[in-house]
Amino acid sequence: MSKPLPIKLTKHASSSVDLQKRSIDEWLHDLENRSIQEIHLGLSRIMEVAKMLDLQLPACPVITVGGTNGKGSTVTALEAIYHGAGYKVGTYTSPHLIEFNERIRINLTPISDEDLCQAFSVIEEARGEIFLTYFEMTTLAALWYFKKNYLDILILEVGLGGRLDATNIVDAQLSIITTVDFDHQDYLGTTLDAIGYEKAGILRPGKPFIYADINPPTAVIDAAMQLVAPSFFYNEEFSIHEQDASWDLVYNEKLKLPSILGLPKPSIQLKSAAAAITACLLLSHDLPVAHAHFQMAMKTIFIPGRLQLQKGSVSTLFDVSHNAQSVKLLADTLFKFKKSKIHAVFSALKDKDIFNLIMPLKDCVDRWYLAQLDNKRAASADMLLAIFRDAEIPVEICYTNPLIAFETALKQAKPGDLIVVYGSFFTVSHVMANRRFNEISN
């Protein structure tokens, strides 16, 4: 695993009055440029500030969701179920797609600029000389905002890994690991067991734990056993029976959970939906949820940027897949469009396994449009072109941003063609945000 760069601890020079005058754009610019290295795993610094402000012990039940893929889908399903059941739900997710405020929500509504600026001001003043990263500042700001609003349930999405992720300063009443696959190996390790060990760091002694995929790494099973955490594994304690237009969630006979039959198919993977419903049933003593609420939530779940299809003369498929496992799912989806000519707008961060982000789509994409990202972790044009040469995919141009690449693809495409935009949240968000602005302007 790579060693983090030294952290320079600096005391902020701004007074509390100056902090309160900052706009949201000024705050985000400051946080984005605070450190050369964006990721500094560890809990000691953030825990110290959290204790100053009494933020590490929320007054409501907490569900923490970790995993390689499917975190956002599971969080969104939980949010939809509890909101539909009439509870006051706080949700913390990352990254955002269009606007930063999307990361912190209460009852589906993103935090306002004013509340976010106030939260940042409180955290910044409290930290003194303690260095906090972009994600740590955001996590504390979210916890401060949630504490002020007296929630019924809080749902936290892990940013990276689990054991040393900023969200892990909070003890969850229930933990979910969606999948364990290869991603962020520089930080989490190079084997599935090593990655599983890091993700299992969100489990708590005696608290329920759900694993929403097959073949859990040994490290995850061992962690659950050592913590005596009541464990619910996909295809063991619960399983999915799928029909053409509906699906059933069936529980092992040894469990006292009622099977849920005839659920509408949601716009997310059924494993994610099953994990969310199971979590709600396990916490039903404190937060009862009726069958009708599960039915309603399955019909209303929607996650922008996840296999999101915009139909038209030339259709566009947006997908934020950014690791090998999620790209394989995208490849499976593209087989539905095998009669169409497929154009791919692609870019990625340099710390990703870019070769394995493109190989699953090599045989189904007819033309590629590479682009650079405006991000400290972005892959350079030379790097992208070199990897495509290694993959024996002929590409000669790398555009300066994803929007230009997309507009070029749009000009080249013919009616009936499909453009897929993928590789990173940043790739998708750049195109979606600018297209939305152009549509509003016109």
Looking at residue 194, its amino acid is A
How far apart are the C-alpha atoms of 82 and 336, rounded to whole Å? 33
Pick from 326, 215, 219, 212: which is nearest to 270 by CA? 212
Q: State the pLDDT at residue 20.
A: 78
Q: Is the dihedral of CA 189, 190, 195, 197 positive or negative?
A: negative
pLDDT at 370 over 90: yes
pTM of structure: 0.89
% of the chain exceeding 90 in pLDDT: 84
Looking at residue 199, its amino acid is K
Per-residue model confidence as pLDDT tens digits over 47-61: 999 999 999 999 999
- When pLDDT is averaged across residues 275-291 and rounded to a whole number, the result is 97
Q: State the pLDDT at residue 16.
A: 58
pLDDT at 240 over 60: yes
Strand order in the sheet with 104-106: 109-110, 104-106, 89-92, 153-157, 62-66, 174-177, 209-211, 231-233
CATH superfamily of 16-300: Mur-like, catalytic domain (3.40.1190.10)
Q: State the pLDDT at residue 34.
A: 78
Residue 108 in contact with residue 167, Cβ under 8 Å?
A: no
3-state SS track over the chain: CCCCCCCCCCCCCCCHHHHHHCCHHHHHHHHHCCCCCCCCCCCHHHHHHHHHHCCCCCCCCEEEEECCCCHHHHHHHHHHHHHHCCCCEEEECCCCCCCHHHHEEECCEECCHHHHHHHHHHHHHHHCCCCCCHHHHHHHHHHHHHHHCCCCEEEEECCCCCCCCHHHHCCCCEEEECCCCCCCHHHHCCCHHHHHHHHHHHCCCCCCEEECCCCCCHHHHHHHHHCCCCEEEECCCEEEEECCCEEEEEECCCCCCCCEEEEECCCCCHHHHHHHHHHHHHCCCCCCCCHHHHHHHHHHCCCCCCCEEECCCCEEEECCCCCHHHHHHHHHHHHHHCCCCEEEEECCECCCCHHHHHHHHCCCCCEEEEECCCCCCECCHHHHHHHHHHCCCCCCCEECCHHHHHHHHHHHCCCCCEEEEECCHHHHHHHHHHHHHHHHHC
Q: Which residue has the higher pLDDT, 40 or 219?
A: 219
- When pLDDT is averaged across residues 420-437 and rounded to a whole number, the result is 87
Q: Is the dihedral of CA 128, 129, 135, 136 positive or negative?
A: negative
- Alpha carbons within 13 angstroms on the beta-carbon side of residue 141 total 30
| Residue 297, φ and ψ in degrees, nearest 5 | -65, -40
Question: If you average pLDDT over every residue of the chain, what do you get?
Answer: 92
pLDDT at 41 over 80: no
Domain(s) of CATH 3.40.1190.10: residues in the chain: 16-300
Q: State the pLDDT at residue 7.
A: 43
pLDDT at 311 over 70: yes
Q: Which residue has the higher pLDDT, 2 or 151?
A: 151
How far apart are the C-alpha atoms of 260 and 270, rounded to whole Å? 13
- When pLDDT is averaged across residues 113-140 and rounded to a whole number, the result is 96
How far apart are the C-alpha atoms of 267 and 265, rounded to whole Å? 7
- When pLDDT is averaged across residues 205-233 and rounded to a whole number, the result is 98
β-sheet bridge partners, residue 248: 241
Q: Which residue has the higher pLDDT, 37 or 358?
A: 358
Residue 307 in contact with residue 331, Cβ under 8 Å?
A: no
Looking at residue 13, its amino acid is A
pLDDT at 313 over 60: yes
pLDDT at 441 over 70: no
- When pLDDT is averaged across residues 10-33 and rounded to a whole number, the result is 75
- When pLDDT is averaged across residues 339-367 and rounded to a whole number, the result is 94
312, two tokens: 């038209």
CATH class, 308-441 region: alpha beta
Domain(s) of CATH 3.90.190.20: residues in the chain: 308-441
Q: State the pLDDT at residue 17.
A: 55
Q: State the pLDDT at residue 437.
A: 42
Residue 52 in contact with residue 143, Cβ under 8 Å?
A: no
pLDDT at 15 over 60: no
- Give the Cβ contact number of residue 392 at 10 Å: 7
Residue 64 in contact with residue 80, Cβ under 8 Å?
A: no
β-sheet bridge partners, residue 317: 309, 420
Residue 266 in contact with residue 76, Cβ under 8 Å?
A: no
Q: Which residues contact 312 (CB under 8 A, 6 or more apart)?
A: none
